[in-house]
Structure 1
Amino acid sequence: MDHKDVFAALQMVCSDVILALNGSRSNSSNADATDRLLGVMRQIQEHGRAVEPLITGFTAVYHHFDLDAQTPGNGYRTLVKVVHSCVTNILQKACYIASNYSGAFFRMDHNMAEMEAYCSALCQLRALLYLAQILLNDNAHGQLYSQEQGGLSERFVEEYTSMHKACFYGRCLGFQFSPSLRPFLQTVVISMVSFGENYKKQQTGLGIAALSFFTSGKYVVDPELRGTEFERITQNLDMQFWKTFWNLTETGLLSSLTRIASTVVQVNVILTIPAVCLSLPLASDPSLSVSVNPPVAHWGPGPVKVRLISHTLRQGQDNAELLALSRPEGPQLSLPGGFSRQTAPLSPGLLIHFHGGGFVAQTSKSHENYLKSWSKDLNVPILSVDYSLAPEAPFPRALEECFYAYCWALKNCHLLGSTAERVCLVGDSAGGNLCITVSMRAMSLGVRVPDGIVAAYPATLLTTDASPSRLLTLIDPLLPLSVLYKCIDAYAGSSCQSVQPAQQIDTLAALGQDTVKLLTNFTQGATNWFQNLLEPKAAAASSSSTIPSNGPSPSKSHSEEKPQEVQEYPENFEPLRSRCLVDIHTPCTPIMKNPFVSPLLAPDSLLKGLPPVHIVASALDALLDDSVMFAKKLRNINQPVTLTVVEDLPHGFLSLFQLSKETQEASDICVKRIREVFQLEEQPADQRQPGLS
């Protein structure tokens, strides 16, 4: 339905409800609730009249910000889509009220509370549209991020801190997502607020979870209390609480439950890669070699843990050299003679995976369900890297460990069951960032780059710049702005208070000189690229490279004079304000603009030569604009890139692939892109092996 028809229907049904309630008001047994509902319906009408022209304006120009005509997707489109979803829900509920208000079983209090919640949501979305309008007016043509120092980025933090958000976590929770995911989102929010209530008590992680189960009932029956408490938790976010909550999925009991429903694989082992210097052939001249040192940042050389997953036992995977590094997980493998003697030949493909979790949480265990399914569907071994997490291990430790694991895998592919003729890097969120930066690191060192990258909803800009999709952090239960900023702050290292002690490794003395050389080259190179970004000419060139050359500009460009300040809201409008106020620490450090932290800011010279990059993003993800702008940047320098935007799914949908048809289909898109990298033929649907066994 066209948005004009939607808003016309909204006005009509609101008028019908108002007329009906006024006619029955004298006979109503609950006059107070009836009066409140009448007031809410009039407010909805007012918001609808104000929002419609805003939506019309965005609809007229949002196509200018797409990657191309075949790939519709950007934050402006998303804001329109979210408002449309909210209005659609209001229409459905209002139609129900108009048809059933006089029935014997009609609950006036309940329906009044429902409409109040959606009215509040529409009010706050109206405020986001005004903020997005400022972005549209101030930014250059095709530019989605506000890169002006301060400006709206700073203003949005102030608004986020003070604006009411509880309505999005109560009765309206997840209205913008696929209906099949809303029960899951409700479970997550209820679990989190219950967990938060018991977090400070002296219990183990599983003990807190068990106690939370018994205290969660009140949050089930009282959506307003749930929303208020979730807002309080996210406003006063404790990073250790967030890490502990998301790592609950890796406790023995919960991981055992998820393993029951997961694909059975023959190989699922943890490997500990020793910290030794590697020698790899130069990509440009295999007769020459380059030394790759183990990770050293913050506490010196140390081993790297990885997980090897293979649906079929392959040659090399039962090698004594590999077994010496391994520790089995799951009932399907025992050491050393538990392998079946029948082994499959080496696979020509090798998939190397970097998990998401905002650089601060989770491990390969959190992601093994879909990796097991992929190993079965693709018939390739998968190596997933358990890199060290922030804030204890900020940048560049994770990058160093992932790059070292990548190089080790190239050198020892025969132990992993592969010839590595084709190598694909895959990662989601933070892992997508690491896929790109590991490839950049490989190019800068002269090591073979992978044959392709598949990045799901990657974080390519770890700065606090505002964009239309990042405005969604006001309403997103999985990625609120406070969480995003905490993750950026932790990875950038500005909140790092302690690091692990230096590990005593036999090769430490031998690595001394190489370590100094590695750090010097890495730091100097990063500094040079950063300085290039700061130079006016380079900055202008970089900015122009992200701007399409065709089509008229739908918005004003920056001029030398500072544009006149735009009033955020009309004089007769003010968004609802929160009772839970707190100052959010805004990360601010030059490291955030380091190309190996924010690859979107990398100069063209550092991106040329990347393998084909396949991005799978979500239209409802706060990081959508990261994907769109990075794809534009690569295309403008003639780098091979594809962008697929899936609908109605939240950030992190890969970890939810078993929950709904939509998340399974999104996972299948990633598998299809990996097949393209491996140059495998698409498997017919009737022959495709099921994801569960």
Structure 2
Amino acid sequence: MDHSALFPALEKVCEDNISILCGPSDMPYGTVTKRLVTCLKKIQEHGRALEPLVSSFAAVYHHYDLDAQTPGNGYRSLVKILQSCILHIIHKGRYISSNYNGAFFRAEHNASEMEAYCNTLCQLRALLHVAQMLLNDNEYGQLHNLQDEELSSRFVQEYMSMHKACFYGRCLGFQFSPALRPFLQTIIISMVSYGETFGKQQSGVGTAARSLLTSGKYVVNPELRGAEFERITQNLDLQFWKSFWNITESDILSGFTRIASNTVQVNLTLTVPPVTLHLPLASDHRLSTAVSPPVAHWGPGPVHMRLISYELREGQDSEELQTFFRSDNAPISVSHLPWVQKLPLSPWLILHFHGGGFVAQTSRSHESYLRNWSKELGVPVLSVDYSLSPEAPFPRALEECFYAYCWALNNCHLLGSTAERICLAGDSAGGNLCITVSMRALAAGIRVPDGIMAAYPATLLTTDASPSRLLTLLDPLLPLGVLARCLNAYAGTNFQTVQPSERRGSLSALGRDTALLLSDLTQGASKWIQSFLDPNRSSGVKRSQSTPQMRSETHWTPTHTPVPDHDHHVSYPEGFEPLRSQNLAFIPPTSSPIFRNPFVSPLLAPPNLLKGLPPIHIVASALDALLDDSVTFAKKLRGLGQPVSLTVVEDLPHGFLSLSHICKETQFAADVCVSRIREVFEQEKATNVLHKMTTVQDGPQRAFS
């Protein structure tokens, strides 16, 4: 619905309901009726103030797109989210007016629903005012003002005090595709339940099993769920997030993922020892350069990888490759698989760097879509299990990924490929590493990859304000506090030089806890049933003072908690103030010079580090907090004459690649990523013919052309 028709519809549905609710004095639900009328009048007030604000954004936000064919930026996203919220209110209002006198009408439930969306509308109104401040202070057409530290500081200070729980209760995920809402609700309930017992008794699957089955109170009490999620995102440290995200690495959950994905002939984990490599220079193959193994922080160390191939190809069953096998492999050979036809080397190769905020997960978490890539493209995939922060901060991960790229060039024949064309692919943090590895290759003078597919990449590792960064206030997968903790971990702001004893994060704990799973399920089932009988029961964990009871969550009178720095407070129109949290969030600063390092934040790289990069295909989401980073980076590359494409998919959160099996919308976005990789392999076929002619003359050095 166009905004010109949306606000009149909102006004009408509010008027209709107020007229019905304020009718005859014998109307039922007296107290609830008063709540609804108060709520509807508040919604009217917000709507009347927002209509001219939205019109002003709609008149200019196209100037902030990459181009006319690629509509997408944070201003558009904020307006789209607001419209989604208003549509929910209109739908709920029409339902109330039609069913208020019905025998089965749940008055308390519908009043709570309308109040929740009223709170959400209030906070979105505040975000649009902050966005208007950005629009006025930034240069025309620019989504960031990287020189204005005060502007970013005001954004962070405002985020710290604003109430966020309303976005994670009844309204959770309203801005995303409807098919994703049940999944997001499951994730958030699991997260807050896991947060109750984290660090107290068990860890990994043991804690997860128990907490998942003590989560009944978060099902029956969405307001409690929202308040607990706000507490977790504001107070729990990075180790909680590492532990929770790594649950996907457990044998049980990864087993479910494998069932849903394609079966592959090759799935091998490799360990490459730290030896110096020699690669020919791109400018003259007769000359070579040495590439040292990763050394940052604790000296030379091995690099771990996973080779996935839908079909068995030459080299993948060789004795030479078996020397790199890790102990968890079942060695593969033609004799063990007599029915498998061994195919010749593929001319293509994908080198993959996984996401996880630089702090969590491995190739195992992303195995599902990697298997699909290998099948759909008929190409081997080599995924790098780089060392994770905060134990291994920058530049360790970059060193390992660059070393893996160089090793793959030298040993492509073992991977089932000639590497005539090689594509780097990654999501989020992995997208950052795809770009920075290519920058390293360019700076070293060796062959750069033939293209990059970066899904929702992190190209600016700071908390600098942009309109899409405002979405961290309501993003269930990427809140600003969590994002800032991950960025600081990668930057090594609190790093102590200790070599990790367990490179797979919490996986060893997960393995130990798997044995306790059945016991935890039994104990958890009893507590889960009890939680339905007593929704306010908190499993023995003391409730934070900010945790609402059944009615206190409505926040009709905002809690005016002072912001730490009044000089940086955002000024709102007279008579309006957003809802405030009773406890302030802590956002670690991203002010260290390392955040401005171009190999940390490639968006800030000078032209000499970007000119000469291969074609970069960026796939972003309109509802991702990192959207503006992708738009600005694509603009910068295009301004330098670099080949770049940007695709913006709708209604999906950050991390949609790992959700490709959830619904048709995420599958469509995953298919877009596959299409962009295919473009890398098939682009400029005429040039490719010339390339093949050159490789015939160059002989065995063809992989570096």
Q: Same fold (TM over 0.5)?
A: yes
- What corresponds to 1:19 in structure 2? 19
Indicate the SS of the match to 1:27. coil
Question: Deviation digits for residues 311-343 of structure 1, max 9, x if unmatched?
Answer: 000000011011111138688x65795344631
Determine the C-alpha separation between the residues in 2 that align with 1:390 and 1:44. Answer: 44
Determine the C-alpha separation between the residues in 2 that align with 1:43 and 1:165. Answer: 19
Q: Which amino acid in 1 is paired with 2:587?
A: I
Contact 1:237 1:483 in 2 (8 A): no
Determine the C-alpha separation between the residues in 2 that align with 1:317 and 1:651. Answer: 34
TM-score (norm 2): 0.86
Which one of 629, 651, 656 corresponds to residue 653 of structure 1? 656
- What corresponds to 2:444 in structure 1? 445
> Is 1:675 matched with 2:678?
yes
- What corresponds to 1:476 in structure 2? 475
> Is 1:619 matched with 2:619?
no
Rate the CA distance shift 1:496–1:119 in 2: closer, same or farther, 3 A: same
Residue 214 of structure 1 deviates from its aligned partner by 1.8
Q: Which amino acid in 2 is paired with 1:600?
A: L
Unpaired runs of at least 5, structure 2 = 503-566, 686-705
> Is 1:607 matched with 2:607?
no
Question: Deviation digits for residues 613-665 of structure 1, max 9, x if unmatched?
Answer: 00000000000001000000000011000000000000000000010101111
Question: Deviation digits for residues 135-187 of structure 1, max 9, x if unmatched?
Answer: 10011112101323432211121111111100100000000000010111000
> Is 1:189 matched with 2:188?
yes
Rate the CA distance shift 1:378–1:666 in 2: closer, same or farther, 3 A: same
- What corresponds to 1:8 in structure 2? 8
Question: Deviation digits for residues 415-448 of structure 1, max 9, x if unmatched?
Answer: 0000000000001000000000000000000110
Q: Which amino acid in 2 is paired with 1:106?
A: F
- What corresponds to 2:586 in structure 1? 583
- What corresponds to 1:93 in structure 2? 92
Determine the C-alpha separation between the residues in 1 that align with 2:273 and 2:601. Answer: 29
Q: Which amino acid in 2 is paired with 1:186?
A: Q
Contact 1:294 1:301 in 2 (8 A): yes
Contact 2:158 2:569 in 1 (8 A): no
Residue 498 of structure 1 deviates from its aligned partner by 4.4
- What corresponds to 2:284 in structure 1? 285
Contact 1:301 1:502 in 2 (8 A): no
Indicate the SS of the match to 2:49. helix
Q: Which amino acid in 1 is paired with 2:336?
A: G
- What corresponds to 1:256 in structure 2? 255
Please list, as runs of the form range in 1=range in 2, the aligned pairs for 1:300-339 lying within 5 A after superposition: 300-327=299-326, 334=332, 337-339=335-337
Contact 1:364 1:384 in 2 (8 A): yes
Residue 84 of structure 1 deviates from its aligned partner by 0.5
Determine the C-alpha separation between the residues in 2 that align with 1:32 and 1:245. Answer: 42
- What corresponds to 1:268 in structure 2? 267
> Is 1:596 matched with 2:599?
yes
TM-score (norm 1): 0.87
Please list, as runs of the form range in 1=range in 2, the aligned pairs for 1:44-193 lying within 5 A after superposition: 44-193=43-192
Contact 2:139 2:145 in 1 (8 A): no
Determine the C-alpha separation between the residues in 2 that align with 1:6 and 1:681. Answer: 46
Which one of 635, 654, 666 corresponds to residue 638 of structure 2? 635
- What corresponds to 1:364 in structure 2? 363
Indicate the SS of the match to 2:59. helix
Unpaired runs of at least 5, structure 1 = 504-563, 683-693
Contact 1:134 1:566 in 2 (8 A): no
Determine the C-alpha separation between the residues in 2 that align with 1:13 and 1:39. Answer: 14
Which one of 544, 568, 573 corresponds to residue 570 of structure 1? 573
Q: Which amino acid in 2 is paired with 1:11?
A: E
Determine the C-alpha separation between the residues in 2 that align with 1:180 and 1:213. Answer: 22
Contact 1:270 1:305 in 2 (8 A): yes
Q: Which amino acid in 1 is paired with 2:130?
A: L
Question: Deviation digits for residues 46-80 of structure 1, max 9, x if unmatched?
Answer: 00001111110100000000000000000000001
Which ranges of 4 or more aligned residues in structure 1 deviate by more than 6 Å?
A: 328-331
Determine the C-alpha separation between the residues in 2 that align with 1:189 and 1:502. Answer: 31
Contact 1:73 1:619 in 2 (8 A): yes
- What corresponds to 1:689 in structure 2? none
Q: Which amino acid in 2 is paired with 1:139?
A: N
Q: Which amino acid in 2 is paired with 1:317?
A: Q
Rate the CA distance shift 1:330–1:122 in 2: closer, same or farther, 3 A: farther
Rate the CA distance shift 1:212–1:347 in 2: closer, same or farther, 3 A: same
Indicate the SS of the match to 2:269. strand
Contact 2:261 2:372 in 1 (8 A): yes
Indicate the SS of the match to 2:463. coil
Contact 1:347 1:419 in 2 (8 A): yes
- What corresponds to 1:35 in structure 2? 34
Q: Which amino acid in 2 is paired with 1:232?
A: R
Indicate the SS of the match to 1:232. helix
Determine the C-alpha separation between the residues in 2 that align with 1:65 and 1:664. Answer: 28
> Is 1:644 matched with 2:647?
yes
Question: Deviation digits for residues 212-270 of structure 1, max 9, x if unmatched?
Answer: 12211110111000000000000113100000000001111111122111110000010
Q: Which amino acid in 1 is paired with 2:351?
A: I
Indicate the SS of the match to 1:327. coil
Indicate the SS of the match to 2:485. helix
Contact 1:494 1:587 in 2 (8 A): no
> Is 1:246 matched with 2:267?
no
> Is 1:215 matched with 2:214?
yes
Residue 586 of structure 1 deviates from its aligned partner by 1.5
Question: Deviation digits for residues 386-418 of structure 1, max 9, x if unmatched?
Answer: 000011100000000000000000000000000
Q: Which amino acid in 2 is paired with 1:13?
A: V
- What corresponds to 2:492 in structure 1? 493
Aligned length, in residue pairs? 620
Q: Which amino acid in 1 is paired with 2:678?
A: R
Residue 201 of structure 1 deviates from its aligned partner by 2.1
Question: Deviation digits for residues 457-476 of structure 1, max 9, x if unmatched?
Answer: 00101112100000000000
Rate the CA distance shift 1:211–1:336 in 2: closer, same or farther, 3 A: farther
Residue 680 of structure 1 deviates from its aligned partner by 7.6
Rate the CA distance shift 1:236–1:204 in 2: closer, same or farther, 3 A: closer
Indicate the SS of the match to 2:588. coil
Residue 195 of structure 1 deviates from its aligned partner by 0.3
Determine the C-alpha separation between the residues in 2 that align with 1:613 and 1:294. Answer: 26
Contact 1:347 1:380 in 2 (8 A): yes
Residue 579 of structure 1 deviates from its aligned partner by 2.0
